[in-house]
Structure 1
């Protein structure tokens, strides 16, 4: 799971470009943008690309450069906002809320975070959505001209804490390694991640932007204040959230465990001892000072270990979110449909390519830069089948089956006629009733056929292909 998530992090990185030997960009333009990106100065890179575009409005390479940098700035601004409120991106429990989308950016530690409210977090999401929309608007102006933008991903840096500088911890290859748990990646390997972005990567980037916009618009469409107030203390522990005492108790337990070490161990069962006899002896041992200490340490272990799981359960329990901005649900639908269209165009262009220059996503005759990722005709066909099936669901031409009904759920109506979102009631069936219709159902056999060609790594390829 961690590896396919890592592809999402690499995808963010690869939206940038450095410029060498282009017919559409001067050497100075290339060097200035490179210097800015490699120093973590995305604002400077945006100014250089913007100035170039102002002088040559038909320069699609400069326009792609600007849109890509704007997208990177969207990620950077998100990271800075999460740092501002003290995101605990080193959260130890992978089952906790820190694994949710948007919260996986490994920002530097902030010892003095600002106070966070539900309204402030919605503002963080809104700014991210606005930044993404700005990047997409820029990219939408590309008219089909040549794009040739090589980028050494291993040299790019961000400013995730907003201090105006970029530390070694903010190098993109280190961010990728942290999120992906990519043990194979070191500074030497990162230096090999040179990608030549071209025209096929324009729709790829736009598809990725629309996917992220759909992810952000969904929570903004709903009122989920109660879930936020009750569970986000573990994600932003120093931000003054109402139930931060839960996290504080978890940390106190962890500190005591570290201080006391392993502690006494219970007596082992003797070879000649029956199980009932051992249970009697074990229960007697629990009453001794050593046994009491063992029980105390076990209690502390549970407290320190299961807090994240408990918060996640509570988050699901409080997943009863009234719709407050229904127009956003329509935008979720529109963004997902746009993602499908741009992905199709991306693959149309990829399949037509005849060069072979450090491709981000190669066709079957090209070489790519990512290890462990292979493009085959079977996988391309499987991806096209996925796009067709997903589009049929979004358009209401196929219905989503429910275990409780012969009829199926019209997903399109869920976006266009939204009601209170409650995942438990959807699974139970009562929240699905308003959307039930007669019609053709998508089948488990179809989805097994789609995922089979990706060798069990469908979600990893989904983030890469989008």
Structure 2
């Protein structure tokens, strides 16, 4: 009887706490297809509070966090009037609708947008990294996932994640009516695939923010955004020759692609992100090649069915492993990159480009003069390696790289 108060407290506490069964697709899908990403995050956190070892809930939380990063970036691009017809370059390729009343965008605001995207991806990485069950599995209808791309609180039919993905990475991938759900059975290999992509995108963002691009922004931002107060903006009012406009804009962009170093430490951070991406890409295949099922695989092994028009075989898996090894040795400065103008045996130490950054001049690098401080004697990446990879991947190595990461 003396334990009765304690027992009563336990019963009351237990009754007041939600009790969840193991998370399934049915628990996750409604948030995705209805575009309620924030609600999905809250729901998965609640599930994990009640069941911290629920791997599917943790995986779902990582997926929701990744989608939130994409959603926040797209809403920022909409806020400042991203032009739908603007050039398809990294970070401004999202298919946001036209904003009739964009807010003014400044260089500092643009850097803040980039930093927010990096920070959001770090959150997604942290959540995904908690998934430690090798048997984790979630089958999700990727074709139906919706995002609020313009921040109006609604997720319209045109605001699907698949539309974003095809605009950014795989423009050839289209879904017919019979494929609208496009279910993918995400597993442990895909956890590492998604983590790897967060590191790749953060590497790109950190490398960009390492440099002072204010002059470039002030003179070219009007190519991408409406409402920019720049010298270029006044030429957009009455376009008579679209081809010549694009040609002139391209020449200006190349001319302005010359940046002083602003925050050099970011370059080393970017290099570490790339090395981490490589390690996770290896883990993708470590898990993938051991799979014996064939359940709507996103990254299939040689015995599984691909959901894409691309074919994976043992030679391509080994070819990708070779590429990862070569990329790692280059990033660590153990192998050098050749430059077309250097024929005396020296090559570019890419590690020093990251650890000892100097002014970045695109024309100077193409010419060769900017590479001189980084030239060294040593083993170089062989052109034969590149030719072999192209042959192994049927001349579509870049397409496979986007898919594999």
Q: TM-score, normalized by length of structure 1?
A: 0.79
Residue 376 (str. 1) matches residue 366 (str. 2)? no
Q: 1:84 corresponds to which residue?
A: 79
Structure with higher Rg: it is 1
| Alignment-derived partner of residue 362 in structure 2 | 423
Q: Aligned-pair distance for 1:239?
A: 3.8
Deviation for aligned residue 1:175: 3.9
Q: How many residues align?
A: 384
Change (3 A) 1:112 1:357: same
Maintained 8 Å contact 1:59/1:145: no
Q: Which runs of 5+ in 1 are unaligned?
A: 1-24, 92-97, 254-302
Following TM superposition, by how much is the alpha carbon of 1:126 offset from its aligned partner in structure 2, in angstroms?
0.5
SS at match of 1:129: helix
Where 2:242 maps in the other structure, the secondary structure is: helix
Equivalent residue number for residue 396 of structure 1: 333
Q: Distance in 2 between matches of 1:183 and 1:441?
A: 36
Whole-Å separation in 2 of the counterparts to 1:397 and 1:183:
38
1:119 to 102, 108, 112: 108
**Counterpart for residue 462 of structure 1:** 401
Matched residue of 1:329: which SS?
A: helix
Equivalent in the alignment of 1:439: 378
Q: Counterparts of 1:362 and 1:32 in 2: how far apart (Å)?
A: 26
User: Which of these residues, 262, 285, 304, is aligned with residue 347 of structure 1?
Assistant: 285
Give the TM-score normalised by the residue count of structure 2: 0.90
Q: Deviations over 1:350-395 (max 9, x none)?
A: 001111111011111111222x111011111111111111111111
> 1:200 is matched with which residue?
189
Q: Give runs of aligned pairs for residues 196-275 of structure 1, distance below 5 A.
A: 196-250=185-239, 253=240
Confirm or deny that 1:101 pairs with 2:90: yes
Q: CA deviation at 1:178?
A: 5.3
Q: 5 Å matches for 1:21-420?
A: 26=21, 30-91=25-86, 98-176=87-165, 180-182=170-172, 184-191=174-181, 193-250=182-239, 253=240, 303-370=241-308, 372-405=309-342, 406=344, 407-420=346-359
Task: Output the CA distance in 1 between the equivalents of 2:167 and 2:66.
Answer: 21
Residues 135 and 178 of structure 1: is their aligned pair in 2 closer, same or farther, counting only changes over 3 Å? closer
Deviates more, 1:450-459 or 1:112-121: 450-459
1:428 Cα deviation (Å)? 2.0
Where relative contact order (Cα < 8 A, 6+ residues apart) is larger, the structure is 1
1:194–1:306 distance in 2 versus 1, CA, 3 Å = same
CA distance in 1, matches of 2:231, 2:114: 21
Change (3 A) 1:390 1:178: closer
Provide the secondary structure at the position in 2 that maps to 1:161.
coil
RMSD: 1.9
Unaligned runs of 5+ in 2: 1-19
Deviation at 1:144, TM superposition (A): 3.3
Contact 2:22 2:54 in 1 (8 A): no
Displacement of 1:242 in angstroms is 4.4
Measured at CA, do residues 183 and 30 of structure 1 come closer, stay the same or move farther in structure 2, by a change above 3 Å?
Answer: closer
Q: Deviations over 1:146-204 (max 9, x none)?
A: 3110001121111000011111111233444555544853333323x111111111111
| Residues 364 and 402 of structure 1: CA distance in aligned 2, closer, same or farther (over 3 Å) | same
Q: Determine helix, strand or coil for the equivalent of 2:369.
A: coil
Q: Measured at CA, do residues 441 and 30 of structure 1 come closer, stay the same or move farther in structure 2, by a change above 3 Å? A: closer
Q: Confirm or deny: 8 A CA contact 1:393 1:400 kept in the other structure.
A: yes
The answer on whether the counterparts of 2:260 and 2:360 sit within 8 Å (CA) in structure 1 is yes
Aligned pair in 2 of structure 1 residues 324, 201: CA closer, same or farther (>3 Å)?
Answer: same
- Once residues 229 and 126 of structure 1 are traced to their aligned partners in structure 2, the CA distance between those partners, rounded to angstroms, is 19
Aligned to 2:5: none
Asked whether the 8 Å contact 1:194–1:369 carries over to 2, the reply is no
Helix, strand or coil: the match of 1:322? Answer: strand
CA 1:149–1:32 in 2, change beyond 3 Å: closer, same or farther? Answer: closer
Could you tell me how far apart the structure 2 residues matched to 1:452 and 1:99 are? 28
How much does 1:452 deviate?
1.6
Checking the alignment, whether the CA contact within 8 Å between 1:60 and 1:145 is kept in structure 2 is no
Distance 1:152 1:460 in 2: 23
